[in-house]
Amino acid sequence: MANEENQVQNPPKINAPSVPKPTSLNHEAPMSKPISAPRSSLARPASTFPAINSAQRASGGLAVPGQQSRRKVVLKPGHSPLDWAHLNSSKPKHILRGVPPNTPPPQYVQIPKEELKKHKTQEDCWTCINGRVFNITPYINFHPGGVEEIMKCAGRDGTALFNKYHSWVNADRMLENCMVGIISN
Ligand code: HEM
């Protein structure tokens, strides 16, 4: 007991920076750190919401390890989906189909596979989707997925690729004025 009292009266000297002693007016703890505002119960840590790989995150944001980031294609001015709709209502159909004006309606035109293969350049491009052959030449620069991607189906059956990327897109509707004919063997 006597030893304890001795320790309180003569505390061991420690080589530490001196801290101002509290005075009778300064009875609060010294403010060594700024006090942060209390976090509201609604606040979520920004780093985890939305989750890194959430669909709610805008594309082009943080890269997700192991996941291919979505590449946005910049369309040329005047090549929005609305411009495509306008072109469809203003251009004669045979121009969009790329055929002479007196060509029969597409449902009566048979296209052999050998003929489809001949149209595989950006200036003359056909593809076949679900048995229908389309002249996609006028559409290439309107494609939201980019020229390079759509050219992968040039001169051949593009059904599998088309469905792989966007099975929800209605090609028959979008390219109805570009339909050349029906594929035949
Ligand atoms: C020939 C007919 C095609 C048409 C009419 C077409 C149409 C479209 C449309 C409307 C979109 C926008 C979809 C959306 O925002 O929901 C799109 C995006 C895209 N398309 Fe196509 N497409 C065609 C062929 C292809 C092919 C053959 C490929 C791949 C080889 C392809 C790859 C893509 C990609 C990667 C995107 C971007 C998807 C994204 O932004 O997440 N498309 N296409």
List Cβ neighbours of 124 (8 Å cut-off, separation of 6 or more).
98, 137
CATH code: domain 81-184 is 3.10.120.10
Tell me if the bond preceding 77 is cis, omega within 30° of 0: no
pLDDT of residue 2: 45
Q: Whose CA is nearest to atom 12 of ligand 1?
A: 144
pLDDT of residue 185: 79
DSSP symbols for 122-173: TTEEEEEETTEEEE-TTTGGG-TT-HHHHGGGTTSB-HHHHHHHHTTS-HHH
For residue 133, pLDDT beyond 80: yes
The CB of 174 under 6 Å from ligand 1? The reply is yes
The CB of 166 under 6 Å from ligand 1? The reply is yes
Question: What residue ranges do the domains of the chain occupy?
Answer: 81-184
Tokens of residue 105, six digits: 């309606």
38-67: pLDDT as tens digits: 665 566 665 676 666 666 665 544 555 665
Q: Whose CA is nearest to atom 34 of ligand 1?
A: 145
The structure's pTM equals 0.70
Rounded CA gap, 4 and 7, in Å? 5
For residue 31, pLDDT beyond 80: no
pLDDT of residue 112: 98
The CB of 137 under 6 Å from ligand 1? The reply is no
Q: Whose CA is nearest to atom 37 of ligand 1?
A: 145
Distance (Å) from CA 121 to ligand 1 centroid: 18
